Amino acid sequence: MPDPIRVSLSTSSVYPGSTASGFEAAARLGYDGVEVMVGIDDVSADIIAIKALSAFHEMPVVSIHAPCLLVTQRVWGSDPWEKLHRSAEMAHEVGAQVVVVHPPFRWQRDYARTFVDGIAQLEDRHGITFAVENMYPWRTGKREFQAYAPGWDPVDDDYAHVTLDLSHSSTAGSDPVEMAREAGDRLAHVHIADGSGSAKDEHLVPGRGTQPCQEFLEVVAASGFDGEIVVEINTRKAKDQAEREVDLLEALAFTRLHASV
């Protein structure tokens, strides 16, 4: 019988709480590991601090999310390739096997032009899986803007490894089950969340939106998936810590139930 799929927690799921509080919550609530979202919290970009948190809470770091967001454009400098090299360095140091990376923004023309080949070269150089994450078109009213290059859907491009995020598939209006099937063994990493189809990237608790989260997890589990499933939800609207923990526990229970073979 195959080992159960691990379910880990993204430190972004406790925002505006700190990276340290993400480790604490993951350990106390029974998650299997942590994905570190490298961001504006200084601790998240500090390898020594992350190793200390992992050891103290006895929580393995399963993946590093490179600083790809608009708000993290200055984290680890402004060179996007340097950010990925440093993400790989952190992954090696903390024992993670995966770096999650977004496609470039369209205005990062030089970066975007060589991105597909560059990701392959990074994997060869560092021996780390760089799993490119699905994003979505930006929409304002009836207008749609293609913000990512070479595109927001990594399944369509020649990446060896991809991450599928179900909040992003909701915003894009795409079918994550079909995306998983099309990706096949290139699917290396999952961000489990939900969405209602809004133009906003909602990151709801799985089961509270309209995405086929249950079917997706069942299909992934039945496929022999041996990557990581990471809960990445938005708990910013929780009125207190107790309500945040209810969301984190519900997301964990839902994922474990439906990702079991």
Measured CA to CA, the distance from residue 211 to residue 213 in angstroms comes to 5
Whether the pLDDT of residue 256 is over 60: the answer is yes
Please report whether residue 153 resides in a domain: yes
Q: At what angle do helices 80-94 and 115-126 cross, to 10 degrees?
A: 30
* Structural domain boundaries, residue 37: 7-258
3 state DSSP class of 58: coil
Structure confidence at residue 205 (pLDDT): 98
Measured CA to CA, the distance from residue 34 to residue 59 in angstroms comes to 7
Note the pLDDT tens digit of each residue in 208-218: 999 999 999 99
Structure confidence at residue 243 (pLDDT): 96
Share of residues in the chain with pLDDT > 70 (%): 99
Structure confidence at residue 70 (pLDDT): 87
Please report whether residue 1 resides in a domain: no
> Predicted confidence band at 221 (pLDDT cuts at 50, 70, 90)?
very high
Rg of the chain over Cα atoms, rounded to whole angstroms, equals: 17
CA contacts within 13 A on the Cβ side of 29? 26
The amino acid at 242: A
Note the pLDDT tens digit of each residue in 86-124: 999 999 999 999 999 999 999 999 999 999 999 999 999
| Residue of 228, 234, 194 whose CA lies nearest to 97 | 228
Please report whether residue 2 resides in a domain: no
Please report whether residue 122 resides in a domain: yes
The CATH number that applies at residue 18 is 3.20.20.150
Whether the pLDDT of residue 202 is over 80: the answer is yes
| Average pLDDT score over residue span 174-194 | 98
| Residue of 122, 129, 141 whose CA lies nearest to 100 | 129
What does the DSSP 8-state code read for residue 5?
P
Please report whether residue 95 resides in a domain: yes
Structure confidence at residue 1 (pLDDT): 54
Structure confidence at residue 4 (pLDDT): 86
Note the pLDDT tens digit of each residue in 5-61: 999 999 999 999 999 999 999 999 999 999 999 998 999 999 999 999 999 999 999
Whether the pLDDT of residue 184 is over 60: the answer is yes
> Predicted confidence band at 140 (pLDDT cuts at 50, 70, 90)?
confident
Please report whether residue 114 resides in a domain: yes
Whether the pLDDT of residue 2 is over 70: the answer is no
Number of domain units in the chain: 1
Share of residues in the chain with pLDDT > 90 (%): 92
Please report whether residue 165 resides in a domain: yes
User: Which class for 24: exposed (0-12), middle (13-18), buried (19 or more C-beta within 10 A)?
Assistant: middle
> Predicted confidence band at 251 (pLDDT cuts at 50, 70, 90)?
very high
Structure confidence at residue 145 (pLDDT): 86
Whether the pLDDT of residue 261 is over 90: the answer is no
Structure confidence at residue 10 (pLDDT): 98
Please report whether residue 208 resides in a domain: yes
pTM for the whole structure? 0.96
Structure confidence at residue 3 (pLDDT): 76
Whether the pLDDT of residue 233 is over 60: the answer is yes
DSSP secondary structure, 60-87, as one string: -EEEEE-S-SGGGTTTT-S-HHHHHHHH
Average pLDDT, the chain: 96
What does the DSSP 8-state code read for residue 107?
T
What does the DSSP 8-state code read for residue 203?
-
